[in-house]
Amino acid sequence: MSGVSPRVRRALLLRSFAVQGSWNYRTLIGTGFAFVLLPALRAAHAGDEAGLRRALARHAELFNSHPYLATVAAGAVARLEAEGAAPELVGRFKSALRGSLGSLGDRLVWLTWRPACALLGVCLLLAGAPWWAAAGVFLLAYNALHLWLRAWALDVGLRDGLQVGRALRESPLERLGERAAGAGALLAGFGAVLAFGGAGARGTDQLLGPAALAAGILLGFRTRRVAFALLAATLAAGALYLRTR
Amino acid sequence: MTPGPGTLALLAVLGGAAALDGTSLGQVMVSRPLVAATLAGCVAGSPAHGAMLGLFLEALHLGVLPVGASRYPEGGPPAVAGAALFAGSAGTFAELLPVVLFCMAWEWACGATVQWMRHWNARAASPPEETELDPATLERRHYASIAGDFARGAVLTLLGLALLAAWLRAGPAEWTPEPVARMALAGVAAAGIASSLRLFGSRRLPLFVLGAACGVALLVLR
C-alpha cells in the first residue's frame, strides 16, 4: 500500500534509534533524519544516483521532532518519496509536521511517562524491593511504551502519508499522557513520604518531612539547585565544626 | 577504593554507553541515574550501593527535561563514576553525601560538554548551500558524531572517577555526622520527588496527597 518494502520498513525502524546521533544547533535532527530515511531514498531513487544525492541534501536540512515520533515523519516521507511526490510538497509537509511531533512527544514522554516510570522504580526501591526489581521494572515499563511508540508511529506514517495529522489527533496518546500524569502524581506523593519517613527521624526532626514536601512542591524545578546548596552547606558546616572543635 | 584496570575499562564503556543513550542512540533510559548507577554498582561489585546512590540522584533528576535546545545536566556518566567509587565504601549516608554533591556538580559539567558537542556537530552537518549529498558522506558524519559522543562519555566517566577519588581522599565523608547526613539526604530526596508534581500539574495535588497518605500508611504498618 505504501510502496515501501518490509526490508526498508525494518531498516527505517532500526535506524530511527539513532535519529539524534548528530544532533546539532544548525539542522537539529536534520542530518539524523536523512540518515534514517536513507534506505527508503535508495529504494525510491534506485538507478538515479544524482536524484538520490539531491533528495538526501533536501532531507538533511533543518528538522526537529520528538525522537520517538520522528518515525511518523520518516514513514510518511518514505511513502511520499516512493510515490514520487514533488520535493516542494514534501518540504512543506515536513515543516508543518515538526512542531506537533515535538510538542506531542515532549508532553507524553518527557513530561509524564518517563517521570512516572522513574518514580515507580524509585518507589519500589524505597518500599524495600531489591535493586534489580527497581531498575528492571523502570526499564520494562518505560520501554514498553517507547518501543511501541516508535513502531506505531512508523506504521501511521507509512499508512496515512499526508493524512498523519488526523491519525495523530485520533490517537490515544493524549489520554495516555493524562493517565500517566495521574499515576505519576500518586507515586510522587507516595515516594516523597517514604524517602523521608524511611530515614527514621525522631522528635522535632519529624517536622522536616512535611517541610521538605512543601518546599519541593513550591520550588518545583528550582528544587535541584536549592538541594545542591543545602547539601553543600551541610558538608561545609560539618567541616567548619571539625576545624573549630 | 579505586577500581582496577579491567573494572575501569568496563566503567568507561558503561559511561560511554550512558552518554550515547542520553541523546544519540537508543534512549532506552540506561542513562537514567537510577539505572546507570545500579549497573555501575554491578560492575564495581555492589549493585545495592549503586542503586542507593542512583535513588538520590534520580530523585533530584526527575525535573530535568531534555526539551529542544535547552541546557540541562547530564545524568549518565556522573552516576557511573559516583557509583563505582561508592560501591567500595561502607555505604553510610556520611559517605554518600559528598558523592551525591560531586555527582550533581559533575552533571552540570557533563551537560556543558553536550553543548560543545552539538556546536561541533553543527560544523560537521551539511552546509545549507549543499544541493547534493553523498550517502557515504552523510553516514560517515553521522557515525563520527555517535562515536564522538561515546568517547566523550567514556572520558568524562574516567575523569569524574579521578576527580571524585581525589575529593574523597580529602576526607569529606568524616565531616558530617551520620544522623545529620541521613536527614539532609532524606530531606532533599523527598523534596526532589515532591517537586515532580510540577511536571504532572498542580491540579493533581489531590492524587499526590492520596499517594502521600498511602506512604504514611505503609510506614505505620511496617
**CA distance linking residue A187 with residue A126, whole number of Å:** 11
Determine which helix (DSSP H) or strand (DSSP E) holds B6, and give its type and residue range: helix B5-22
Answer yes or no: do A110 and B62 touch at CB < 8 A. Answer: no
Q: Which of B35, B194, B210 sits opposite A213 (nearest CB)?
A: B194
Closest CA to B34 of B16, B18, B20, B10: B18
> How much is the average pLDDT of B128-142?
91
Mean of the per-residue pLDDT values of chain A: 95
Average pLDDT over residues B140-164: 97
Distance from CA of B7 to the nearest CA of A (A): 20
Q: Do B34 and A138 touch (CB under 8 A)?
A: yes
Q: Residue B127 above 90 pLDDT?
A: no
Q: Which residue has the higher pLDDT, B66 or A117?
A: A117
Rg (CA), chain A: 24
Half-sphere exposure of A144 (CA within 13 A, CB side): 8
Work out the pLDDT band at B1, boundaries 50, 70, 90.
Answer: low
* pLDDT for position B197: 97
- B13 near B43, Cβ under 8 Å? no
- Each domain of chain A, given as residue ranges in start order, spans 6-98, 102-244
pLDDT at B73 over 80: yes
Q: Which residues of A touch B34 (CB under 8 A)?
A: 118, 121-122, 125, 134-135, 138
Note the pLDDT of residue A2: 66
Residue B68 DSSP code: T
User: Which residues in chain A are closer than 8 Å to B193, comparing Cβ atoms?
Assistant: 119, 122, 188, 191-192, 195, 216
Measured between CB atoms, which of A142, A227, A231 is closest to B29?
A: A142
Q: Which residues constitute the domain of residue B186?
A: 5-221
Q: Determine the residue of chain A that is closest to B105 in CA distance.
A: A228
Question: Which ipTM did the prediction report?
Answer: 0.96
- Nearest residue on chain B to A213, alpha-carbon basis: B191
Percent over 70 (pLDDT), chain A: 99
DSSP annotation of A222: G
- Tell which wins on pLDDT, B55 or A203: B55
- Local structure of residue A111 (DSSP, 8 states): I
The answer to whether residue B128 scores a pLDDT higher than 90 is no
A20 φ, ψ (degrees, to nearest 5): -100, 15
Q: Average pLDDT, stretch B208-219?
A: 96
Partner-chain contact B191 A185, CB within 8 Å: no
State the Cα–Cα distance between residues A24 and A28, nearest whole angstrom.
5
Residues B104-124 have a mean pLDDT of 95
Convert the pLDDT of each residue in A22-41 to its tens digit.
999 999 999 999 999 999 99
CB A53 within 8 A of CB A18: no
Q: b/e for A7-18, b at 16 or more Cβ within 10 A?
A: ebbebbbebbbb
Residue B125 is predicted with a pLDDT of 83
Please tell me the predicted confidence (pLDDT) of residue A99: 87
Q: Measure the CA–CA gap between B160 and B37, rounded to whole angstroms.
A: 13
Q: What is the mean pLDDT of residues A140-159?
A: 97
Q: Tell me which chain A residues have a C-beta less than 8 angstroms from the C-beta of B172.
A: 235, 239
**Strand partners of residue A63:** A28
pLDDT at A200: 80
pLDDT level of residue B222 (50, 70, 90 thresholds): confident
Domain count along chain B: 1
Mean pLDDT, rounded, for B33-54: 98
Q: Which residues of B touch A32 (CB under 8 A)?
A: 142
CA B96 to chain centre: 15
Mean pLDDT on A199-221: 90
The mean pLDDT value for A133-153 works out to 98
Which of B38, B100, B195 has its CB closest to that of A223?
A: B195
CA neighbor of A102 nearest in space, from A69, A55, A148: A69
Asked whether the predicted pLDDT for residue B93 surpasses 90, the reply is yes
DSSP A16-44: HTTTTTT-BTTTBTHHHHHHHHHHHHHHH
Neighboring chain B residues of A57 at a CB cutoff of 8 Å: 126, 130-133
- Report chain B's mean pLDDT, rounded to a whole number: 95
CB contact under 8 A, A193 and B219: yes
Residue A1 has pLDDT above 60, yes or no: no
**pLDDT band with cut points at 50, 70 and 90 for residue B68:** low
**Record: contact B50-A35, CB cut-off 8 A:** no
Q: Above 60 in pLDDT, residue A90? A: yes
